[in-house]
């Protein structure tokens, strides 16, 4: 089943590669051009002493591959497109680049970071604050679902960095609560999501308001051609640090599928799994908010302790639920793609795609939650007859083979 292309398969790898090649070789450079300098240690990067203190205090010892190649060009003020899979330290890469370049004597917004979800924006704020702890950085997350007045108060008191979602950031710029005059760095995190239909116009509107000589950084796990096209409008001779598509899937994540003939059989399959496996913590992805509520009720009625979160909940409720899950008082989190990016829970060993994602790019963001920074993890995909084409597309997109779940799955967790 997994090895045969279903009729009308949506994803055409040859067309994808041709588009990417056209896009990236227009200036005569090789397709996967890269920044050649690799720095084996943080000490070799020429970073400020107090930034290094923050990096080591945060628990980093040796830079990851993307950090070895990505921090220095950003610190040099170059425009960069950086692509690396979830869990490899992209956030710390651009946070370090920003923190190195700030003028701490000037308490004005000098760096603006956009992220597609509130959760991710708040996580970036935490990392920025932690890494910049010894530098005295002032950072604030501007996200929807929080008080506009409070945002205005904090911004008027002065910050060095604003992290936020496009809607709230544009609102703050429009109200002139956020002044763009001193912004010299502009970062898009999870650019594939950000530049998809929903946020493209807002990001463009924000960019128009920024000073003309702003440095642009684009960071993402996947880089579809449309994203690269848009970045051309923003960027000046960017350094490109890209990984090949077939390297995108995370090493250390074992990926399996379970054939479920009908949608109705998924619930039994899920409950069977939880009864046979000793799971530390797991995330279950479904495709709709309604299904989050439905599955949560079903699991609870069978005495499973589960948490659930989706976009209809207010921010405060979502924060509380995520805190419970991070602390371990809840072992199972049921959610939608909204939160696939930004769930950074160390103990997650299993991701279950109760529903396969509707597009191949989101698969990586979901399964990238388990096994972060080289920890092992397992991803299990529930596949109905209707899902076979999508599973084929996913395998083709990432050049991986997703095998049928073996009977000894308990040994893998």
Per domain, the residue ranges of the chain are 32-243, 247-412
Contact 289, 311 (CB under 8 A): yes
More confident residue, 370 or 256: 256
Q: How would you classify residue 158: left for phi > 0, otherwise alpha for psi between -120 and 50, otherwise beta?
A: left
Contact 366, 285 (CB under 8 A): yes
Tell me whether domains 32-243 and 247-412 share a fold: yes
Give the CA diameter of the chain.
63
Question: pLDDT over 70 for what percent of the chain?
Answer: 81
Highest mean pLDDT out of 27-36, 82-91, 249-258, 387-396: 387-396
Rounded to an integer, the average pLDDT of 108-135 is 93
Q: What contacts 204, CB < 8 A, 6 or more positions away?
A: 230, 233
- Name the pLDDT band for 15 (thresholds 50, 70, 90): low
**Domain over 247-412 is classified CATH 3.40.50.300:** yes
Rounded to an integer, the average pLDDT of 278-297 is 87
Q: Looking at residue 388, what is its pLDDT?
A: 87
Q: What contacts 330, CB < 8 A, 6 or more positions away?
A: 305, 306, 307, 321, 324
Beta sheet of 332-335, edge-to-edge order? 306-309, 332-335, 281-285, 348-353, 377-383, 253-259, 403-404
Q: Looking at residue 148, what is its pLDDT?
A: 94
Compute the distance between CA of residue 236 and CA of residue 215 in angstroms, rounded to an integer: 8
pLDDT of 398 strictly over 70: yes
| CATH, domain 32-243, list 3.30.70.270, 2.60.40.420, 3.40.50.300, 3.40.190.10 | 3.40.50.300
pLDDT of 14 strictly over 90: no
Compute the distance between CA of residue 190 and CA of residue 121 in angstroms, rounded to an integer: 11
Strand residue runs (E) in 36-116:
80-83, 111-114
Q: For the whole prediction, is pTM greater than 0.85?
A: no
- pLDDT, one tens digit per residue, over 142-159 is 998 899 999 999 999 999
More confident residue, 307 or 65: 307
């Amino acid at each position: 089943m997994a090895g045969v292309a279903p009729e009308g398969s949506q994803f055409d790898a040859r067309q994808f590669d041709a588009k990417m090649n056209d896009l990236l070789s227009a200036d005569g450079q090789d397709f996967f051009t890269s920044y050649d300098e690799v720095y084996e240690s943080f000490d070799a990067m020429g970073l400020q002493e107090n930034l290094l203190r923050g990096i080591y205090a945060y628990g980093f010892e040796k830079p990851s591959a993307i950090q070895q190649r990505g921090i220095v060009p950003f610190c040099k003020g170059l425009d960069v497109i950086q692509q690396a899979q979830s869990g490899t330290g992209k956030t710390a890469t651009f946070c370090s680049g920003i923190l190195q370049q700030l003028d701490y004597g000037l308490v004005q917004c000098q760096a603006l970071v956009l992220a597609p979800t509130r959760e991710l924006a708040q996580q970036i704020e935490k990392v920025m604050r932690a890494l910049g702890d010894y530098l005295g950085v002032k950072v604030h997350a501007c996200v929807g679902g929080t008080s506009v007045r409070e945002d205005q108060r904090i911004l008027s008191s002065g910050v060095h960095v604003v992290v936020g979602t496009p809607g709230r950031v544009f609102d703050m710029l429009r109200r002139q609560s956020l002044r763009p005059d001193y912004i010299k760095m502009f970062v898009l995190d999870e650019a594939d999501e950000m530049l998809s239909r929903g946020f493209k116009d807002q990001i463009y509107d924000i960019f128009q308001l920024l000073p003309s000589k702003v440095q642009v950084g684009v960071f993402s796990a996947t880089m579809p051609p449309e994203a690269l096209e848009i970045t051309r409008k923003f960027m000046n001779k960017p350094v490109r640090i890209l990984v090949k598509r077939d390297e995108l899937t995370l090493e250390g994540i074992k990926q399996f599928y379970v054939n479920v003939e009908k949608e109705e059989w998924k619930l039994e399959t899920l409950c069977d799994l939880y009864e046979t496996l000793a799971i530390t913590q797991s995330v279950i992805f479904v495709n709709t908010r309604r299904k989050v509520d439905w599955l949560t009720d079903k699991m609870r009625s069978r005495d499973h302790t589960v948490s659930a979160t989706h976009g209809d909940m207010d921010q405060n409720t979502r924060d509380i639920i995520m805190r419970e899950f991070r602390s371990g008082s809840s072992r199972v989190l049921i959610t939608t793609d909204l939160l696939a990016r930004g769930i950074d829970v160390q103990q997650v060993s299993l991701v279950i795609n109760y529903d396969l994602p509707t597009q191949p790019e989101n698969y990586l963001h979901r399964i990238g939650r388990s096994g972060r920074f080289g920890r092992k993890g397992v991803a299990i995909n529930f596949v109905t007859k209707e899902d076979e084409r999508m599973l084929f597309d996913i395998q083709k997109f990432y050049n991986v083979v997703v095998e049928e779940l073996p009977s000894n799955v308990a040994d893998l967790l």
